[in-house]
Amino acid sequence: MENINLIETFSEFKELKNIDRATMISVLEDSFRSVLIKRFGTDENFDVIINLDKGDFEIWRNREVVKDEELEDANLQISLTEAKKIDQDYELGEEVTDEVKFLDFGRRAILSLRQNLSARILELEKDSIYHKYKDRIGEVVTGEVYQIWKREILILDDEENELILPKAEQIPSDFFRKGDTVRAVVVRVEIRNNNPLIILSRTSPVFLERLFEMEVPEIFDGLITIKKIVRVPGERAKVAVESYDERIDPVGACVGMKGSRIHGIVRELKNENIDVINYTTNTQLFIQRALNPAKISNIKLYDEGNRAEVYLRPEEVSLAIGKGGLNIRLAGQLTGYEIDVYRETEEDDEDVKLDEFTDEIEAWILDELKAIGCDTAKSVLDLSVEDLVKRTDLEEETIREVRGVLDAEFE
């Protein structure tokens, strides 16, 4: 009965930990053999037979029949007298196989076996989880919020494995309660304190790429390729796509009829504004598309430092720069160019370039103004103090002083 209970305990582990049959039998046999080695010094003359279906096991010992007076090792040998008690037909030199009852080893041996097995199965389970998720890096997984902490969220997958979604990998507007369903991408798998640690992310560009694959069949099938993704999670993203089939419009396919395909992605990303751009090897055209919705008048490229000067009509400058400089920053990351924006104005003999004021205004202040497309005195004066405060990192007092210097030029 003790044997059967022992196997039932192991079977429970098997079901609970989802360890495959072959591995489970191997672990059981190794555990039994370690007990045999401790007790007899060797396990080479033992056969361990495990039957998980029946929930039992057998241990058989093989010993050579020797003369009574030649018996030296009772584990490897059996006297002729003892052998004939088992079967009268046994002769010298033959091998006797008899069953060893594990119950006879004592309660301590059984307890030791259970503890050893528990430790082995726990290690196997950790190893199984580690390798399972190591192979799933870059995949989207779905789980349920189990616990919420200040710096991270604990999520359980459908097999109740623990996954971690750190605060830094959450979209700023993400808000979860216990029991909520969460989708995220596996970004890395680590071993910490001898335990597997599966890290998820909702801010990674890979997460956005996988969402497109799930929503757009042409991307999943390889007819459309995502060339590059840049994003500020929860705010804005730019996705460059290319089609290998001339009949397919990659941008239209990604957006879908009336935005049907992209709406699901936008909702998942907490209303992140997603610009889908048709990729091209023509750098000027690519920069022009990346700065959408601004209409560009002219572009000058400089190979040194991968720099681009973009000229626009005054009313287009704010569109190119975007709220908080987000549009131009993402366009730069997408194209790999440092983009400088300039106003294209009609010739004005009275206007003065900002570079003419280096004696009166510090260079870093002039650079701040140029970064928002203001490269002349009048282009700065055309904007209100409030607009300049919003668009630059300059203090209101500094802006008023700058405007005073510029105003004096035209008095």
pLDDT at position 345: 59
Dump the DSSP string for 311-378.
EE-HHHHHHHH-GGGHHHHHHHHHHT-EEEEEE-----TT--BGGGGTTTS-HHHHHHHHHTT--BHH
| Predicted confidence (pLDDT) at residue 76 exceeds the cutoff of 70 | yes
Answer yes or no: is pLDDT of 9 > 60.
no
**pLDDT band for position 169 (50/70/90)?**
very high
pLDDT tens digits, 241-285: 999 888 899 999 999 898 889 999 999 999 999 999 999 999 999
| pLDDT, mean of residues 113-128 | 80
The CA distances from residue 150 to 52, 101, 154, 270, 358, in Å, are: 45, 55, 11, 20, 48
Rounded to whole angstroms, the Cα distance separating 287 from 297 reads 12
Cβ atoms 122, 128 nearer than 8 A? no
Look at residue 293 and tell me whether its pLDDT is greater than 60: yes
Asked whether residue 4 carries a pLDDT value surpassing 50, the answer given is no
Q: What is the pTM of this model?
A: 0.68
pLDDT at 174 over 90: yes
CA distance 203 to 402: 39
Count the helix, strand and coil residues of the chain and give each as a percent rounded to the nearest 5: 45, 25, 30
The answer, yes or no, to whether residue 106 has pLDDT greater than 90, is no
Q: Is the pLDDT of residue 316 over 90?
A: no
- Between β-strands 296-302 and 307-312, what pairing exists: parallel, antiparallel or unpaired? antiparallel
Which pLDDT score, from 0 to 100, does residue 383 have? Answer: 83
CB 86 within 8 A of CB 98: yes
Report whether pLDDT(22) > 80: no
User: Mean of the pLDDT values across residues 315-341?
Assistant: 89
- Per residue in 194-209, pLDDT (tens digit) is 889 999 999 999 999 9
- Predicted local confidence at residue 390, as pLDDT: 81
Find the helix or strand (DSSP H, E) in which 387 lies.
Answer: helix 385-391
Q: How far apart are CA 403 and CA 86, in angstroms?
A: 112
Cα(287)–Cα(298) distance, rounded to whole angstroms?
A: 11
Mean of pLDDT values over 26-41: 84
